[in-house]
Structure 1
Amino acid sequence: MEETSGHKEYVAGLLAGVATVVTGHPFDTVKVKLQKHNTEAHGMKYKNGLHCTARIVRSEGVRGLYRGATSSFLGMAFESSLLFGIYSRTKQKLQEGLQNTRPQPQVIIPSAAYGGAIISFVLCPSELVKCRMQVQGTDSLVPKSSRYSSPLDCALKTMKTEGVTGIFRGGLTTLLRESLGNAVFFSVYEYVRYYMHLQLKAASSDHNDLIDVGIGIVTGGLGGVAVSIDKLLYF
């Protein structure tokens, strides 16, 4: 097992979390809008995701797609850093004494599930704030008196009206989602990465950083797809 520096995984996870929010938050905003307004009896109806996106940009500008992103940046950066760090360190401990270099499910699954359970305590409050900020937008459906001026204002008002437990609403579901989801993600990631390296090594002796980046993109993407399917089936 190759040893890594104490902070490398945490920094890599932090950067991955920021990149995730930059690219994924607009899609998440549209998803939340569609889920809320298209399920209300007298709510606003969007024809599809494109119609929803166009309406947001027209009424709020591009920044409307990133409404609630502040809490996501903070939450995802910290959560992703913690997840990768905990997963890597736990995996190293569980692999001690094992000679087999192949991915071991008895190592990957508990390491990923443990990391997912820990980060759920960070993710749950940040997601709650993010969703409430996304939903309010500038729509007339939300009275001005009920609007949040910032993610911090949203968090403070939630705790004031609902107590500390209010900020952790849906915590158990989040814990289960993150534990199971990350077990699936890292399992797919580790196995696909291992077999891709084997195939490339057999095909050519040349191996460089660019190839590693490509493998990382492919394996991370496949892991993300597997997690999405798992979450749809589970919930």
Structure 2
Amino acid sequence: MKIPDLTNYEHLIGGLCGGVTSTVVCHPFDLLKIRFSANEGSSLRPQYSSYADAVRKIVRVEGVRGLYQGWTPSLIGASLSWGLYFQWYNSLRTKIYENFSTGSKLANNLISGCISGSAIMCITNPIWLTKTRLCLQYENQQSKKYAGMMDCLKKTVKQEGFFGLYRGFVTGVIGTTHGAVQIAAYSWIIDKRCQSQGLPKDSFLSQTDYVIASSTSKVLATTITFPYQVLRTRMQDHNTDSRGVWKTTLKTIHNEGIGGLWKGCLIANVRQLPAAVVTFLTYENVKRLVGMTKQI
């Protein structure tokens, strides 16, 4: 049986596989990042002295399964987001290069990343909202408000209306700068590496090159843009009534200082660094395999 030519969807398929793989491997880190970002010291939440202490307390009450709360929407959201992001980003930047060839490549990459990310956020914000709320159902609560992803979606619409699914949307759109910085830096590093080796653009490089490019771009993007993640988490948290980007920002700074906007940044880098490496390594290798279908 002849394998169909899937090269037009190589970025989509590579991104889908990358999102799935990174979520399976790294979701517990994501759970910890969300909980530390949301923690403003309220007595409603369990207080953890460290990341290791958080793991111990969660596992003691709920078992290892407790570290995978919010796993379903995370799996769906990550695979969908990365698949569409890589597909749309590469299509858009190609069109921009064709029409504005004299412009800066880095600027074009940033623009492509922001536009692609904003479009995807319109689709996936409800998924990320359910992930956040499921991750913030604590082990010290006598009963859980949500039984799962679909139950969370239904109750959110019933109690807050349809637009309740888009709480944190503005910060999410602002957060597209994170993906834009990451993908622009990654593309720039890969392009420079191809040039230094005298290879055509988008040539398949060594695994080490992809590890260095993905880790460097991820740490840079996470650290620079992290405050949006804190604000978004707090605005989507069902345990509090944080509304409005500006109001939440001022409240955070007033109560916790400017450092409060980077709360959870360390675990975010710990979580997102391996996730980024896994995502991009999977993406590049799957994309290469899909590209081979054109030769079959």
- The amino acid that maps onto 1:14 is L
**1 CA distance for matches of 2:82 and 2:187?**
17
User: Is the deviation greater in 40-49 or in 218-227?
Assistant: 40-49
Quote the offset at 1:86 in angstroms.
0.5
Match of 2:212 in 1: 218
- Kept after mapping to 2: 8 A contact 1:120/1:175: yes
Match of 2:105 in 1: 104
Match of 2:193 in 1: 196
Match of 1:135 in 2: 136
Match of 2:46 in 1: 44
Match of 2:57 in 1: 55
- Residues 170-211 of structure 1: CA deviation (Å, up to 9, x unaligned): 111101111x11221122101111222333449xxxxx95x4
- Kept after mapping to 2: 8 A contact 1:109/1:187: yes
TM-score in terms of structure 2 length: 0.68
- Kept after mapping to 2: 8 A contact 1:76/1:123: no
Match among 178, 183, 208 for residue 180 of structure 2: 183
**2 CA distance for matches of 1:138 and 1:41?**
13
- Residues 1-59 of structure 1: CA deviation (Å, up to 9, x unaligned): xxx93111100111111122123311111122233456214542110111101211222
The count of aligned residue pairs is 221
- Kept after mapping to 2: 8 A contact 1:67/1:137: no
TM-score in terms of structure 1 length: 0.84
Match of 1:205 in 2: none
Could you say what secondary structure the match of 1:46 adopts? coil
**2 CA distance for matches of 1:231 and 1:25?**
20
Tell me, yes or no, if structure 1 residue 121 matches structure 2 residue 118: no
When residues 103 and 218 of structure 1 are mapped into structure 2, their CA distance, relative to the original with a 3 A threshold, is: farther
Quote the offset at 1:127 in angstroms.
1.6
**1 CA distance for matches of 2:42 and 2:145?**
19
When residues 125 and 221 of structure 1 are mapped into structure 2, their CA distance, relative to the original with a 3 A threshold, is: same
4+ residue runs over 4 A deviation: 97-100
When residues 103 and 63 of structure 1 are mapped into structure 2, their CA distance, relative to the original with a 3 A threshold, is: farther
**2 CA distance for matches of 1:103 and 1:200?**
22
When residues 129 and 193 of structure 1 are mapped into structure 2, their CA distance, relative to the original with a 3 A threshold, is: same
Unpaired stretches in structure 1, ≥5 consecutive residues:
203-207
- Kept after mapping to 1: 8 A contact 2:45/2:138: no
**1 CA distance for matches of 2:73 and 2:124?**
10
